[in-house]
């Protein structure tokens, strides 16, 4: 049931989203493309600070930094 609902939702999304008009146009993304808006500005530094916390806290994962992006080529 859950599978069918998910499949239906994705089918709907795939039909509608391919023709979806982005509400933030590519030419409106100058601010988002500024390096100060990046989730991962300095990967080496970011990886180090995650390691500092991981070694001293019980929590782990979902630190972010890799992947993602703002799609502002």
Least distance from C-beta 9 to other proteins, angstroms? Answer: 10
Answer yes or no whether residue 1 interacts with other proteins by CB under 8 A.
no
What are the φ/ψ torsions at residue 35 (nearest 5 degrees)? -55, -25
Q: Are 43 and 65 in contact (CB under 8 A)?
A: yes
Binding residues for other proteins restricted to 30-59, rule: CB under 8 A: 31-32, 34, 36-37, 39, 42-45, 48-49, 52-53, 55-59
Q: Are 46 and 65 in contact (CB under 8 A)?
A: yes
Rg (CA), the chain: 18
Residues that bind other proteins (CB under 8 A): 3, 6-7, 10-11, 13-14, 17-18, 20-24, 26, 28-29, 31-32, 34, 36-37, 39, 42-45, 48-49, 52-53, 55-64, 66-73
């Amino acid at each position: 049931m859950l599978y069918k609902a998910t499949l239906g939702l994705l089918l709907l999304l795939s039909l509608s989203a391919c023709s979806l008009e982005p509400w933030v146009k590519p030419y409106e993304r100058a601010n988002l493309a500024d390096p100060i808006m990046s989730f991962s500005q300095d990967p080496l530094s970011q990886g180090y600070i995650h390691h500092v916390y991981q070694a001293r806290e019980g929590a782990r994962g979902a630190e972010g930094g890799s992947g993602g992006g703002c799609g502002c080529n």
